[in-house]
Amino acid sequence: MASDNEWDGKTLHDLSVKWAERVIFLAECGSTNDEARKIALKGASDLSVILTERQTSGRGRRGQSWACPAGEGLAFTLIVRPKESPALWSRLALAAGLAIAEALDSFGVSAGVKWPNDVWVEGKKICGILVEADSGFAVVGVGLNVNVKAFPAGLAHPATSLAIELAGEISREEVLVTCLSRLEFRLAQIGSGFEELLEAWLARCVLSGNDVRLDAGGISKTGRVVGVSPRGELLLRTTSGIEKILQAHEIRILN
């Protein structure tokens, strides 16, 4: 790990030499995505990682704040330099969500994906992902509830953590390395491997077949989710036919 600091009492090197050489640990930062962008612009290599213990300005999609309790959650950002055309980079969010869900399987927690970039467990959010593209690279930010025991009131959606689901704490280092390994695999599939990626993603989609209400560009839409397009757009069957939604806010499943 590119720091003299230890994390949870031992270095990442104890688990994976490969990732230890790619991780830059910051005890505190504003946003791991912002820090990752800075080092990417200076030439940081593909699959470099910014990991922090405390974010002071963590954010989710559409500028929403994201809290990651020090010592309890995981907050990190992966730099990716895709070989594929930027036209395919919208698939990165799907790949990242699937990768984290698959990583959680390794710890006995069955997770689903909620378009475009959330990971859910039994109807509760356990992870948020923020993908931001720049010139020649993208940053994939991950906020994962690992050993979080309590959540603030007023959250938009119910939340959970690995510790809550497993009824006990788990090594954050082990979770981190597992997540990074799955991210490396799935993020490489946004091109020729996308058919396999999308099939695996759809098998976990918590919205499929459900009636939902969402806000798309300030317009409220209601319909049934019938899939995802090759561009990563949500396919919504409405009274006027199938609509392709590239970005949406506040997607709610209608009971």
Residue boundaries of the structural domains of the chain: 12-204, 211-253
Least confident residue range of 64-73, 87-96, 131-140, 142-151 = 64-73
No. of helices (H) and no. of strands (E), the chain: 6, 12
Q: How confident is the model at residue 47 (pLDDT cuts 50, 70, 90)?
A: very high
pLDDT at position 67:
62
Q: How confident is the model at residue 59 (pLDDT cuts 50, 70, 90)?
A: low
Pairing of strands 23-29, 49-55: parallel
**Residue range 12-204 in CATH 3.30.930.10:** yes
Q: What pTM was estimated for this model as a whole?
A: 0.90
pLDDT at position 58:
67
Q: How confident is the model at residue 4 (pLDDT cuts 50, 70, 90)?
A: very low
Q: Could you report the per-residue pLDDT of 180-230, keeping only the tens digit for each? A: 999 999 999 999 999 999 999 999 999 999 999 999 888 899 999 999 998
pLDDT at position 191:
95
pLDDT at position 250:
79
| Phi, psi angles (nearest 5°) of residue 55 | -105, 130
State how far the Cα of 174 lies from the Cα of 132, in Å rounded to an integer. 26
Q: Tokens 């317009």 belong to which residue?
A: 219
Q: How confident is the model at residue 248 (pLDDT cuts 50, 70, 90)?
A: confident
Q: Which CATH class is domain 211-253?
A: mainly beta
Q: Could you report the per-residue pLDDT of 109-124, keeping only the tens digit for each? A: 999 999 988 999 999 9
Q: Which residues contact 3 (CB under 8 A, 6 or more apart)?
A: 24, 25, 26
Mean predicted confidence (pLDDT) in 12-16: 57
Task: Enter the DSSP assignment of 197.
Answer: H
Asked if 207 and 236 touch (Cβ cutoff 8 Å), the reply is: no
State how far the Cα of 12 lies from the Cα of 23, in Å rounded to an integer. 8
Asked if 204 and 246 touch (Cβ cutoff 8 Å), the reply is: no
Give 223-251 as a DSSP string. Answer: EEEEEE-TTS-EEEEETTEEEEES--EEE
Q: Could you report the per-residue pLDDT of 137-173, keeping only the tens digit for each? A: 999 999 999 999 988 776 767 899 999 999 999 999 9
Pairing of strands 23-29, 211-216: unpaired
Structure tokens at 29: 């930062």
State how far the Cα of 106 lies from the Cα of 131, in Å rounded to an integer. 24
Mean predicted confidence (pLDDT) in 20-43: 93
Q: How many Cα atoms sit within 13 Å of 45 on the Cβ side?
A: 5
